[in-house]
Chain A
Amino acid sequence: MTTHTTSILGVNTVPDTTGRCWFEPYPIAATNDVWGLLVLRLKDPSAAQAHGFYGQFTVPQNYVSAPVIIPIWTSTATSGNHRMRFTYRTVGGDDTTSLDQTSNEEQVSLTDAAPGAANRRMAPTGLTLTAGNFAAGETVEFLFERWDDTGTDTMAADSLIFDVIFQYSDV
């Protein structure tokens, strides 16, 4: 069994219209202004708020099973829980299926504890998706959010998303 990973962020990754998610250079939040890459900031949500970003990716040709979404994130907070949600729809075929779908295929969530120290790289085990929903070559439309569903997001600071990874197995 071989595990593979690929980033699902790309040219058509875009923040939603809530105004509570945006791209910014990392030095705005970082202490050391050395690594000036672009990161996605997700605001500390009020109760029941959800906000994030949309995108799409193609399921790799050697995909077989075990799909997992792994957010690479950090924050200046060192207490509380960071709640995330991944919503997606797979679309396959050639001239057979609409990309303009009215519903999602699956919605999964994950709670990850705040970093033990500010700015640490966080790479949780991830959001496990249903393997049968994916097939090699399909387009996956997605929405990744920070989500305080019922006061479960207790981390009192914004979070920064460095990457979102699609992990899978080729057997």
Chain B
Amino acid sequence: MAQFTSDQLAELRARLNANTATQSWTKPQVNAALQAIEDRLRLAATQNAIGSDIEAAAPGVFSAAQKQLLFGVWCYTAAKRLGVV
């Protein structure tokens, strides 16, 4: 699990703020929430679960690196849907 630097957190907060008219949370609260997401997605169990789902859907097709790429593409789509990018 990677620890966000304070500069990374500042950038993430700025992106969050750009999509919210009012910020009812404090900086420590949003920092902790972002770190929690990072921690969860960095867990081997989480990554293995997603990898297994891909494997079940398309057995033997995608390498580990390609699975990561698929996940990245999905994140991009999700971000666009939320208006973050």
Contacts of A45 in B (CB 8 A): 10
A154–B21 Cα distance when bound, in Å, is 18
Find out whether the CB atom of A43 lies under 8 angstroms from the CB atom of B21: no
Complex interface residues of chain B between 7 and 42 (CB less than 8 A to chain A)? 7, 9-10, 13-14, 16-17, 20-30
Q: A84 near B: Cβ within 8 Å?
A: no
A159–B5 Cα distance when bound, in Å, is 22
Interface 9-mer from A7-15, A61-69, A75-83, A91-99 = A75-83
A46–B28 Cα distance when bound, in Å, is 11
Contacts of A78 in B (CB 8 A): 22-24
Closest to A119 in B: B22
A57–B66 Cα distance when bound, in Å, is 61
* Given contacts A156-B17, A156-B30, A44 and B10 within 8 Å (CB-CB): yes
Contacts of A153 in B (CB 8 A): 27
Closest to A117 in B: B22
Contacts of A47 in B (CB 8 A): 6
Q: Which of B5, B17, B20, B24 contacts A44 (CB 8 A)?
A: B17
Q: A46-B10, A154-B26, A158-B17 are in contact. List 19 more A-B contacts (CB 8 A).
A: A43-B10, A43-B14, A44-B10, A44-B14, A49-B10, A76-B17, A76-B20, A76-B21, A76-B23, A77-B22, A77-B24, A80-B27, A155-B23, A155-B27, A156-B16, A156-B17, A156-B23, A156-B27, A157-B13
The 5 A-B residue pairs with the shortest CB-CB distance in the complex, in nearest-first order: A46-B6, A80-B26, A77-B23, A156-B27, A47-B6
Q: Can you list 30 A-B pairs, Cβ within 8 angstroms, ordered by A?
A: A31-B21, A44-B13, A44-B27, A45-B10, A46-B5, A46-B6, A46-B10, A47-B6, A48-B6, A49-B10, A76-B17, A76-B23, A77-B22, A78-B24, A79-B24, A79-B29, A80-B26, A80-B27, A117-B22, A118-B21, A154-B26, A154-B28, A155-B23, A155-B26, A156-B13, A156-B16, A156-B30, A157-B13, A158-B14, A158-B17
